[in-house]
Amino acid sequence: MLQQTPVARVLPVWLEWMARWPAPKALAAEPPGEAVRHWGRLGYPRRALRLHACAKAIVAEHDGHVPSDHATLLALPGIGEYTAAAVASFAYGGRHAVLDTNVRRVFARAVRAEEYPPTATSAAERRLAEALLPELGAARWGVAVMELGALVCTARSPRCADCPIAGACAWRLAGKPPHAGPARKGQSYAGTDRQCRGRLLAVLRSAHGPVPKAALDAVWDEPIQRERALDGLITDGLAEHLDDGTYRLPHT
């Protein structure tokens, strides 16, 4: 839930999920559409489907217990390197480098004297992060660096005067050279297929049963874009088209 989403938006949804589904077995027992429904407006709703598939695999393959081993976690549906490292480290105290956007930015500035990290995580970044891991307390170290990036070494307005490692920061000592790579552009949303998909999905989430096509047509005026977005939701498994022409959240 926290990937590319602020804590303030995630917290109420997470609390609802934990109350409704306190263990993987509880989530796995529900249709996948319920995971999508209770994902709410967090964005990237395919993550809800992946969490549901992951819960089913944990029940089927691990007796309902989330594995602690990094490699075993990676084998679960929807679990990538970041999530596997985060679970193995933060939940079980394992020694793993957890590289989110905030951590990568701290390392880029403090070690490489670069304002921003590359667009995609590189092998060099992983080697650096692993080399910096302490032998003891790696999980606490990971949380500390993550918080440093989220609260102090922020993307647009870093608070260098409040930074505990400012005296050793390579980027600060180099005079804070500006980013030399491609211009960083904010993501547009208004009028995009993503916004259209969100509108359509909101109709399906609010209805506890199949929805007629007219109810979906009413929330987006541009028909070609609307049909493209609806086809995309079906292809991604976020919606189902029934034989009577109605639509619903996935049940299987």
CA distances from 64 to 60, 81, 97, 183 (A): 7, 21, 26, 45
Output the six-digit token pair for 152: 């102090």
Output the six-digit token pair for 23: 């263990």
Position 185 pLDDT exceeds 70: no
d(CA 192, CA 226): 10
Q: What is the pLDDT of residues 59-96, one digit of tens each?
A: 999 999 999 999 999 999 999 999 999 999 999 999 99
Output the six-digit token pair for 66: 């989330």
pLDDT range class, residue 186, cuts 50, 70, 90: low
Provide the 10 A C-beta neighbour count for residue 138.
Answer: 19
Q: What is the pLDDT of residues 43-62, one digit of tens each?
A: 899 999 999 999 999 999 99
User: Whole-number mean pLDDT of the chain?
Assistant: 95
* Per-position DSSP letters for 28-74, written without gaps between them: HTS-HHHHHHHHTTSS-THHHHHHHHHHHHHHHHHTTPPP--HHHHH
d(CA 238, CA 220): 18
d(CA 69, CA 85): 9
Q: Of the ranges 31-35, 99-103, 180-184, 191-195, which one carries the lowest mean pLDDT score?
A: 180-184
What's the whole-number mean pLDDT along residues 196-207? 96
